[in-house]
Amino acid sequence: MFPYGPVANSSENTMNGYNRKVPPKRRYEMPKYAAPPKKKTCKERIPQPKNTVAMLNELRNGLIYKLESQTGPVHAPLFTISVEVDGQKYMGQGRSKKVARIEAAATALRSFIQFKDGAVLSPLKPSGNLDFTSDEHLENGIENVDNGKLVDYIQKTLMLTEKKPNLTSLEQSTLPLQMFCMSQNREKFKHVSKSAITVDGQKKVPDKGPVMLLYELYNDVNFECINIDSAQNNCRFKMTVTINEKKFDGTGPSKKLAKNAAAKAALASLCNISYSPMVVPQKNVPLPIDDKSSSMELPQIHADAIGRLVLEKFMEVIKGQEAYSRRKVLAGIVMTENMNFFEAKVISVSTGTKCVSGEHMSVNGAVLNDSHAEIVSRRCLLKFLYAQLDLQCNQATAYQSIFVRNTDGQYPYKLKSGVHFHLYINTAPCGDARIFSPHENDTGVDKHPNRKARGQLRTKIESGEGTIPVKSSDGIQTWDGVLQGQRLLTMSCSDKIARWNIVGIQGSLLSSIIEPVYLHSIVLGSLLHPEHMYRAVCGRIEKSIQGLPPPYHLNKPRLALVTSAEPRNQAKAPNFGINWTIGDVELEVVNSLTGRTIGGQVSRITKQAFFDKYGFLMKNLPGILKRSVTTDYGQTKANVKDYQIAKIELFSAFKREDLGSWLKKPIEQDEFVLNE
């Protein structure tokens, strides 16, 4: 038998009759305490010494470099780039655009450098056969100064003026005059904002990436990855860029995209330069919304503030109930007074993507039919409006309300001047605003002979996601039909927002008390397509809407996309949604399929809850003429004449445009009366 271990005192083993030598085992001595591998940090490289472009940008803000020509063979091109400073154009040439840009900046800097002997480096006079590589183009016999030495000289000059502010006139004459003036007024120049890039007076998307442009405009730019969030199976990176001791954040699914987002936020805040899709594209192709983008774009800094406020409030209210933080769609409404975003208030926060199942319909308004996040946020806003009108019931608290008595109109109350509401949704609303290919230029007209693909009214499907055109639905919905298995259909969020832009966001009941309230802006976290979004929320009926009773009108909200766009979430949508309104102690979690809270209770933002609040206001609010509410919920709404006229005109406008008929819920849902 073979032994189980090696043969003692032998360097050979026998196997299958053959002898072979066993090589001696090599021992590897591991250090007792192995040094751990160095972790990669997310800090950026140490800033390089300034070149002539950076130096010129310190002296003149917002300069634009233009490519004048490209000559030479393909394998060895020669670029000519110009820059205009104080009305004078300076040229530079090089084998790359970067080198040509540096040479153009150096030429501009030489134009106002004055040396001790009084000689001046004059501007170049470009000519057809100018050799930019020779030293013969300088006037007054001064030999060419190397670009590196030129920058070094300027930096030393600036240091000298800072150390010796009280120079004699003779000493001043040896310094660059414009640099001396700049150093004496350095604080003044610190606050000069770089102008936004424009074409013919209209803003355009820069043709350079945000990070590159930021480095060109500023020298002290430092990026740092300060946080990595891997929640919800979506790896998210957070980058912070520091410029002149100011910090700007950006997030994204990769460090590169997070860095771009941070740079966009910085450019929007410091220079009013926007990369928003609402801005004219860099190729100067006019948007198909008839130049409405310039007036409909919300400033990027405001859009970012709205998105940040809603996200921060969501993270705040979800603490302690993280099990319900899972979501696909997040929405919220922010209120500002006189567009002061430093004191803006988050009115509501909500999540959700589902509608109630038909078997859970309620005959007394006790369930939420539509739990899509933006619809829930608007219902939370209604709760806030009722609370603000409650303040008017007591003379001691009336001054705290956002409403004031309306002495010269048909409505007892109206919003205070300067109060605006802004809707945030982390993605385009379902329906017409989301029916497009995000990575294709599909702005052309649909050539299908039998239908109009764009602008169609669409409906959500119960218990599911997505929408279908109303022409594919079964028409009028009936109570018994739904209970027997017919799908309960609800109008899409795009269609409901279009409705809000006609009849207001205050609802029919409050329309008997206050003037219509409209959204000032809609900010998206992703999937903003200017043409489709504008058409969906107001554009498809702007030519056919007519006969609206004043003060009802077609509202055109400003649109914007946040710089830190939300990624596409491939996770399955949960069957619950949360809602929170300012003043609430804690959030409410609703089962979207039943329309009730997860504990089976009636939600605080149902029809039933609002009808009760309306009944209280009619009894206690000063200035109300007809105080009794004797009819049911549906008839009470029908009695608000101007609101009903505006709503009917909205439905007629869709029909005139051949976009379908508005689908209503079974009328039995609204046949309930006030609780005793």
Residues 6 or more apart whose CB falls under 8 angstroms from that of 587 comprise 317, 318, 321, 324, 349, 578, 579, 580
Residue 215's CB is within 10 A of a number of other CB atoms, namely 18
- Locate 277 and state its tokens: 């899709």
- Considering Cα of 645, then 674, then 662, then 667, what sign does the dihedral take? negative
Alpha-carbon Rg for the chain in angstroms: 34
The residue type at 158: L
**Phi first, then psi: what are they for 380, rounded to 5°?**
-65, -35
- Taking the C-alpha atoms of residue 570 and residue 398, their distance in angstroms, rounded to an integer, is 48
**Phi first, then psi: what are they for 252, rounded to 5°?**
-175, 165
b/e code 447-468 from CB counts within 10 Å (16+ = b): eeeeeeebbbbbbbbbbeeebb
- Taking the C-alpha atoms of residue 2 and residue 6, their distance in angstroms, rounded to an integer, is 9
Q: Which H or E run contains 19?
A: strand 18-21
Q: Which residue has the tokens 């104080």?
A: 86
C-alpha distances in Å from residue 233, one per residue of 326, 426, 550? 10, 17, 50
- Locate 68 and state its tokens: 């004048």
From 521, 53, 558, 615, select the one nearest 332 (Cα to Cα).
521
Catalytic residues: 374
**Phi first, then psi: what are they for 383, rounded to 5°?**
-60, -40
Looking at residue 280, what DSSP letter applies?
B
Residue 202's CB is within 10 A of a number of other CB atoms, namely 13
